[in-house]
Structure 1
Amino acid sequence: MDRLAALLAHFHLAASVFNAGPLCYSTRHPAQAGMGFVHVLTHGSVHLELADGTQRRFDAPVLILLATSDAHRLGPGPAGAETLCGSFRFGAGHLCPIYRALPTLLAIPLDRLTGMAGLLPLMLEEMREQRCGRQASLDRLCELLVIRLLRYLMDAGEVDSGMLAGMAHPKLVKALIAMHERPAADWSLHGLAHEAGMSRARFASVFRDSVGQPPAAYLSQYRISLAKSLLRDGVPLDTIAERVGYSSASALAKVFRRHTGYSPLAWRNADAGAVRVGDGA
């Protein structure tokens, strides 16, 4: 049972390492919708300043996850710092269910991060040696770091609500995986409860308490997020409707407008314009 396979297939992950080694001066990271950041402190200390003025200092090896559209600043402490810093984005940016489920700020001591024992030394080896393919290797390893971090968040119970909390539940996860893998299926509350091995009433109650919304609302939101991702890829509307569980393009358009205030084509045109402006900034 792979909890992430369908999500990562629909919403592709890409990461880029932009600092690997000494952090020599304070760096500002501007707000970017849908962009997440991972800062790994290996030696020394760093101070973090958020857009709202919140400041935190870290004096021991730590992984800092930031999944927010706000700007932040990271700087070395008095004795300097060695860091591995990267950004990551899922294929649909802030539309991706994984991105929406991430905590806006999380700091985890490196000695608590299970499942990283082999990965972090490999990243540090690449970071400290100037060998051919270093940047590409670090970028791919950063993608793997994000995936393993998602595993950790689910397995360690670090997230207490939202999709990742549901994916950590031994029964709800079966229904969530079924929705993610087969969004076009004619899901009913009874069918989803059956996937989870629960009664309808119990399933509806536990799902709402854990994920933060009713199963039908989650499924509708997931389908629209997937439709947006497919629209960005230029997939025809009829094909999208079939893939995400609507009988026709007009049926999809009706639900899409209710969620977004736009028709699918108007949303795609507005989104394309926003992407062009963002790329040129």
Structure 2
Amino acid sequence: MIVLALKVERWLRSADNFTVGMETRRWAINNLHVPINRLDVMDRLSLLLQRFSLSAGVFYAGQLCGIHHFDQDPARGHVHLVRRGPVRLTGMPESAQRIEQPTLVFMPRPDAHRLIADEHEGADVVCANILFGAGGRNPITDSLPGMVLVPLADLPGAEALLSLLDEEAFTPHCGRQAALDRLCEILLIRLLRYCMDQGITQGGALAGLSDVRLSKALMALHEHPEHDWTLDTMADLAGMSRARFAVHFKEVMGQTPADYLSDWRIALAQSRLREGRPIKALAQELGYANPSALSRAFSARTGLSPRDWLRRETLGASPTS
């Protein structure tokens, strides 16, 4: 039934078929249990960000002089927006970078690193912490390389955002911090779009969602982790044969459909455990017959029971997935 519902839902959303009128829309809602908001366009990235919501916290905006150290951070990504350079970025496993032009640097899993600017001339920089969901590893940042460095001239629509960022950063308006945080979040969404469009991924969810055929199956899987997904069902949604889907999925995503589904469910479980949800309340909504089945799958993927994993998270140890 879920496959039929998703197919009818996509058909109803297509521009050519809005002429079917409200009677057909009501029939789909009543008989296929398609929520009315899902009859509106839901894009591939928004659906992912619904599960792992983006939150930015700008902690520095202004002129940077000399050497500034940043610690390793297993829970949060780091953004450095260089408005005016030059700046040297050192300490990452990647080779040191000298940034001359306005550039956005995103480190999804930052190691300890340094920004170095001239002692006298300085550089104009905005720095922020980035959380997806409740923090730690997640399918979004796991899809990206250790450092994404994009000249702002290459990022569509960045200039208008940067003008607003400059105004908020250097003018003492009330609500300044909230405005800076929200603008940084929009900038990150633009960056994620850019990464998907340009293929700046290392497999995983963003690579799959960038694929025209795989994205259809992934969007359904992301929205309905509770469904009893089979290879046939996913292949049907992608419009591919079972064998071709399995091969193509692994080529693009870097893992089998079954492994990705398991990782997705466990990632959702981890996020919800961080939010305080009990394991017994999560089993059915994540596609497991009972809490014991979820606990076994969780231990198999992480090496820890849900309780032990959450205790370690609470104590501030490095998260795993």
Q: Please confirm whether the aligned pair reaches a TM-score higher than 0.5, indicating the same fold.
A: yes
Question: 1:56–1:220: structure 2 CA closer, same or farther, 3 Å change rule?
Answer: same
1:175 Cα deviation (Å)? 1.1
Aligned partner of 2:188 among 113, 123, 146: 146
- State the AA in 1 paired with 2:90: E
Look at both structures and tell me which one has the larger radius of gyration over its CA atoms.
Answer: 2
Per the alignment, residue 87 of structure 2 pairs with 46
Conserved 8 A contact 1:34-1:90:
no
1:201 pairs with 2:236: no
Alpha-carbon contact 2:75-2:131 (below 8 Å) kept: yes
Asked if residue 62 in structure 1 is aligned to residue 94 in structure 2, the reply is: no
Residues 95 and 53 of structure 1: CA distance in aligned 2, closer, same or farther (over 3 Å): closer
Report deviation, 1:53: 8.2
Please, which moves more after superposition, 23-32 or 113-122? 113-122
How far residue 154 of structure 1 moved from its aligned partner, in angstroms, is 0.9
The amino acid across from 1:271 in the alignment is: E
Length-normalised TM-score, structure 2: 0.81
Shift of 1:48: 0.4
Q: Which runs of 5+ in 1 are unaligned?
A: none
Residue of structure 1 aligned with 2:313, choices 261, 266, 271: 271
1:30 aligns with 2:71: yes
Q: Does structure 1 conserve the Cα–Cα contact (< 8 Å) formed by 2:54 and 2:132?
A: yes
1:215 aligns with 2:262: no
User: CA–CA distance in 2 between the matches of 1:52 and 1:210?
Assistant: 25
CA distance in structure 1 between the aligned counterparts of 2:305 and 2:202, rounded to whole angstroms: 34
| TM-score, normalised via structure 1 length | 0.92
Mapped contact 1:93–1:99 kept (Cα < 8 A): no
Deviations 1:143-188 (A, max 9, x none): 1211221111112222253321111111111111111111111110
2:316 is aligned with 1:255: no
Instruction: Tell me which residue corresponds to 1:124.
Output: 166
Whether 1:74 aligns to 2:115 is yes
* Match of residue 28 from structure 2: none
Q: Does 1:10 align with 2:51?
A: yes
Q: 1:21 aligns with which of 50, 62, 74?
A: 62
Q: CA deviation at 1:28?
A: 0.9
Alignment match, 2:226? 184
Residue 138 of structure 1, CA deviation: 0.3
Please, which runs of 5 or more residues in structure 2 have no aligned partner? Answer: 1-41
Cα gap change, 1:107/1:123 in structure 2, threshold over 3 Å: closer, same or farther?
same
Residue 93 of structure 1 aligns to a residue in which SS? Answer: coil
Q: Which has the higher strand share?
A: 1
Code of the residue aligned with 1:4 in structure 2: it is: L
Instruction: Return structure 1 stretches of 4+ with deviation > 6 angstroms.
Output: none
Partner Cα separation in structure 1 for residue 154 and residue 94 of structure 2: 28
Two-structure CA RMSD over aligned residues (Å): 2.0
Confirm whether residue 102 of structure 1 aligns to residue 170 of structure 2: no
CA shift at 1:209, angstroms? Answer: 0.7
Distance 1:271 1:225 in 2: 14
Contact 1:34 1:69 in 2 (8 A): no
- 1:226 correspondence with 2:265: no
Maintained 8 Å contact 2:145/2:202 = no
Q: Distance in 1 between matches of 2:282 and 2:184?
A: 31
Alignment of 1:234-249 (within 5 A): 234-249=276-291
Letter of the aligned partner of 1:8 in structure 2?
L
Amino acid at match of 2:182: R
8 Å CA contact retained: 2:205, 2:253: yes
**1 CA distance for matches of 2:246 and 2:94?**
40
Q: Distance in 2 between matches of 1:222 and 1:50?
A: 32
Contact 1:33/1:94, CA 8 A, preserved across alignment = yes
- What SS does the aligned partner of 1:95 have? coil
2:277 corresponds to which letter in structure 1? V
> Whole-Å Cα distance in 1 between the matches of residues 158 and 110 of structure 2?
27
Whether the aligned pair in 1 keeps the contact of 2:78 and 2:110 (CA below 8 Å) is no
Most deviating of 77-86 and 129-138: 77-86
Distance 1:224 1:105 in 2: 25
Q: Percent identity?
A: 45
Distance 1:104 1:111 in 2: 22
